[in-house]
Structure 1
Amino acid sequence: MTVTSAGPGTVPRTPDAVPVVASWREPAGVSPRGTVVVVPGRGEHAGVYERFGRRISADGYRVWAVADPTVDADRTEGQVRALLPAEPGPVVLVGSDSGALFAAGLVASGLPHVAGLVLAGLPASAGAAPGSWDDELAARTACPTHLARLGDDPAVRRGALADAIPPSWFAAADPAAVGVPVLGVHGAADTVSPLDGARGWYAGVATVELVTVVGGRHDALNDATHRAAAASVVLFLERLRLGPDLPAIVRVETPGAAR
């Protein structure tokens, strides 16, 4: 993992040890198949997506993760805009929680150089705000490895899921204005952003597929089913390489089922 520190202008809420920008490169000798830029959610930082970044980069995609936009939205937008024209395409924004809403708002507002969106745990409607840190961990993930990562990481802002997302972000993320293909990944048991509300938002997008994770919680990319979530993302990326209409690559059949 390559890390770039915060540098001048870092806000006091972000400890110096937090990787504001992190990257995971495609394997040596492999031409990059595209670029993924991850926008973290409330309380997270770029390094939280190390496991996801390593898995996606192993399949030949260059992965970057930027800073939590709820700390400094201008900084995060600047990081995204600096990366997009310089990296090999197709370029896809991957957002989680408030990062998903922020990424959708950027694209809906006309951000260039983006070929697709992956939105995990999109906060399209208000759910239950966790009352304690233990409640927040339980709402985030059922993965014991990720629970330990969050619990042991002093740079993760505890209680962040109870923070209100700026109303302007909801207004900016107009689904009808999103002109690129979208993959939604959403936990069926997400209490922070209930699935029905997310379904309503995705229904307004022109080209969209929604992957529902059975029993999944809010941090869909870092839940107990993180392997299946990553596989869904890779399949979306591979299809996007073939065209914006997402041509099918594989089809699942059940021989004899119709007899």
Structure 2
Amino acid sequence: MTVTSAVPGTVRTSTPDAAPVVASWREPTGSTPRGTVVVVPGRGEHAGVYERFGRRISADGYRVWAVADPTADADRTEGQIRALLPAEPGPVVLAGSDTGALFAAGLVAAGLRGVAGLVLAGLPTTGGSAPGGWEDELAARTACPTHLARLGADPALRRGAIAGAIPRSWFDAADPAGVGVPVLGVHGAADTVSPVSAARDWYADVVTAELVTVAGGRHDALNDSTHRVAAASVVLFLERLRLGPELPAVVHVETPGGLR
């Protein structure tokens, strides 16, 4: 493996095929990190897919790591997560997308210590439709032109992986009743891979959970055309989590006309 610094603030540990095994985006120089976010990619993805998300969250003072796709090697991904938890500044939050969300929830439900919260984007559910080909996969993933271009030009992305079956054991492990940390769900309202109606049922069984449904959003909720809204929702969740697991409100929205 080699270590390169492709852009300021980014450290990538890569294999010879240039697919990042681990990627990191650091908080602004001179600032104290407000916490750590560990991103777990979905089917067919790799750590580098979350560069835009990592840059945006790190700009707000959080240290961001992205690990390997657990569907390629679950033991490797779990080992990377366990190595990061005691080494990085807290609170530490796992942010998974697609099967990465299911995998992260399963780890926490099984008793993984050191995790203060979960961000689950496009959590897999039953009843969705698998894309039939590459163009269908792109359309199901995102409506963002920038992300579409990135996916289309990425030789390390495993095309067709999102249509692969998810082990039943992963769904069983991600028992919502066993998740004892606060959870933020981010889900596209137009997600055809994982319909939001089924996702609501899962979140309803978590002790402390909030679900942000993005109007018109597709499956790659963190990398869709509304990626700024998704990132803002994540930052607000992180700021509240810093105040306590009860997620105290940090802003109050008022309607001026209703104050008369």
Asked if Structure 1 and Structure 2 have the same fold, meaning a TM-score greater than 0.5 normalized by the shorter chain, the answer is yes
Q: Spell out the pairing of 1:82-231 with structure 2 (5 A cutoff).
A: 82-231=83-232
Where does residue 244 of structure 2 map in the other structure? 243
* Separation in 2, partners of 1:151, 1:234: 28
* Helix, strand or coil at the partner of 1:235: helix
* Helix, strand or coil at the partner of 1:22: strand
Per-residue deviation, 1:109: 0.3
* Separation in 2, partners of 1:58, 1:123: 29
Where does residue 10 of structure 1 map in the other structure? none
Residue 23 (structure 1) aligned with residue 24 (structure 2) = yes
Equivalent residue letter for 1:5: S
Runs of 4+, deviation exceeding 6 Å: none
* Helix, strand or coil at the partner of 1:26: coil
* Helix, strand or coil at the partner of 1:3: strand
* Helix, strand or coil at the partner of 1:28: coil
Equivalent residue letter for 1:165: I
Equivalent residue letter for 2:119: V
Task: Report how many residues are paired.
Answer: 251
Equivalent residue letter for 1:250: V
Where does residue 3 of structure 1 map in the other structure? 12
* Separation in 1, partners of 2:109, 2:124: 16
* Deviation per residue, 1:188-208 (Å, 9 max, x gap): 000000001000000000000
* Separation in 2, partners of 1:237, 1:36: 9
Equivalent residue letter for 2:12: V
Superposition CA RMSD, Å? 1.0
TM-score by structure 2 length? 0.95
Equivalent residue letter for 2:29: A
* Helix, strand or coil at the partner of 2:37: strand
* Deviation per residue, 1:62-119 (Å, 9 max, x gap): 0000000000000000000000011000000000000000000000000010000000
Equivalent residue letter for 2:28: P
Residue 52 (structure 1) aligned with residue 61 (structure 2) = no
Per-residue deviation, 1:221: 0.2
Where does residue 80 of structure 1 map in the other structure? 81
* Deviation per residue, 1:33-67 (Å, 9 max, x gap): 00000000001000000000000000000000000
Task: Name stretches of at least 5 consecutive residues in structure 1 with no aligned partner.
Answer: 7-14
